[in-house]
Structure 1
Amino acid sequence: MLVDQLINRPIYYFTYILFKKNLMSHKDIRIVKYGMQVVFSETLKILMLVLCFGVVGKLPEFFLSLTILILIRSYSGGIHFSTFMRCFSFTLVFFLLSVTVLPVVDYINNPSIYVAIVPLSTLIIYLYSPMPSKHRPISNKRIYYKNKAIATLLTVAIYSAILLLPLDSHLKTIGIWTIVLQAIQIMIAGGVKNEKKAIRNG
């Protein structure tokens, strides 16, 4: 993809210089390259999303949803893609659902529904977290369970803040659906991971 090439070209050039001058080990160069790819692609993705939601006048709502997602996903992980455009497209659909679509569907936005989906999504995040990228696997069990615990506690804390603080009801709805969609996302990621494992073992 063109965007991936534009992102990777300066990174490959920079890491090639590190390699040629023997400034770092091969392992460290791979870590630097991956880190730079993440920073470049995430920055570009957020700028594009800001532009999209700025055009439709939903920037405050988008930033609320983005903040909640970053807090939880940093520890829970989620679905990961191999190209920038696939990642951007998935992320755009995620925020369109959490900010503009689900909050305005009346029949799914009532306290009786929330009573069911709040504990259910919290349980899903507890069971399936963390779902790290294959480029940053978690081999240390202590870190694995630490991330699981933090993801779950953050989910509970954010849900509590949403439900207890005197926020606008529309913002509450956006916050709740952001967490629900994140729970669905890591459940899908977990299913894909288990399917790949079954295929390898089959």
Structure 2
Amino acid sequence: MIKKLSKKLSVSLSKSLDGNNEDVEIWTYGLELLLNGTIKFGLIAGLSAILGTFKPTFLILITFAAFRCFGGGVHFSTYPRCLTFGVIKFLILGSISNVKGNMFNYNLLFYVTLFLGILTIIKWVPGDTEIKPIKNKEDRKKQKVKTTIVLILWIIIVQILIRLNSFKYILPITLGALTSFIFITPLGYWFITSIDNILDKTKVKYGEVK
């Protein structure tokens, strides 16, 4: 549905701007990403507001997206699966962020995330997908540098929040970073691929499962 809508909008845009077939394909892809992202954000924002976890969920989402943008990571094979898992994931993490912890727990989680972040950047960033693999060494190096910059900014923000005693914001942005790193690692790829395979088998056995 979204793909068809994006295609129609791109064709209309192409007629108005005198574009060619290549332009239509590029615009379709861009509009599809925009519409998918808007729907996903709208669902997460609306449901988290109902659950009373909008602020921590939003911080998790922003942090996750910042690392995901440059670090890459695993994706489901279909958009409905990605949408469903993404909404559930962020709502659960938002609810966890409301749990109050002590300074030791915050520090432990911070250092675990920092260690995993450094390891992930060195070994696995950027996380490839079948649709958009990054094979060029220079391009891969650039993505590592960009992800490292985001990690440094994240460290600075966490340290500022600690000095300001704003611990209620530390847990969400740490969970956002930790989750993003996990889904760049082989473990994250195995987890998502396993769910995908199970759903594919269910589709074959019982019918359409998107």
Give the TM-score range, shorter chain.
Answer: 0.7 to 0.9
1:65·1:99 contact (CA, 8 Å) conserved in 2? yes
Pick which of 83-92 and 11-20 moved more. 11-20
For residue 186 of structure 1, what is the amino acid of its counterpart?
I
2:50 corresponds to which residue? Answer: 55
Residue 169 in structure 1 maps to residue 167 in structure 2:
yes
Q: Residues 140 and 124 (structure 1 numbering): CA distance in 2 closer, same or farther, change over 3 Å?
A: closer
> What does 1:31-180 align with in structure 2 at a 5 Å threshold?
31-101=26-96, 104=99, 109-165=105-161, 166-180=164-178
SS of residue in 1 equivalent to 2:127? coil
Whether the 8 Å contact between 2:60 and 2:172 is mirrored in structure 1 is yes
1:28 is aligned with what amino acid? D
Q: 1:53–1:59: 8 Å Cα contact kept in structure 2?
A: yes
* Cα deviation 1:105-126 (Å, max 9, x = unaligned): 8599342453334222332244
Kindly state the Cα deviation for residue 88 of structure 1 after the two structures are TM-superposed.
1.5
Distance 1:34 1:61 in 2: 31
Provide the rounded CA distance (Å) in 2 between the counterparts of 1:146 and 1:43.
Answer: 28
- Aligned-residue CA RMSD in angstroms? 3.1
Can you give the 5+ residue segments of structure 2 that lack an aligned partner in the other structure?
A: 194-210
Inter-partner Cα distance in structure 1 for 2:52 and 2:188: 34
- Deviation, 1:15, is 4.0
| Count of matched residue pairs | 188
- TM-score between the two structures when normalised by the length of structure 2: 0.74
| AA matched with 2:32 | Q
Q: Which amino acid aligns with 2:115?
A: P
CA contact 2:53–2:98 (8 Å) conserved in 1: no
Separation in structure 2 between the aligned mates of residue 141 and residue 174 of structure 1, nearest angstrom: 33
- 8 Å CA contact retained: 1:15, 1:29: yes
* Aligned residues with identical type, % of pairs: 22
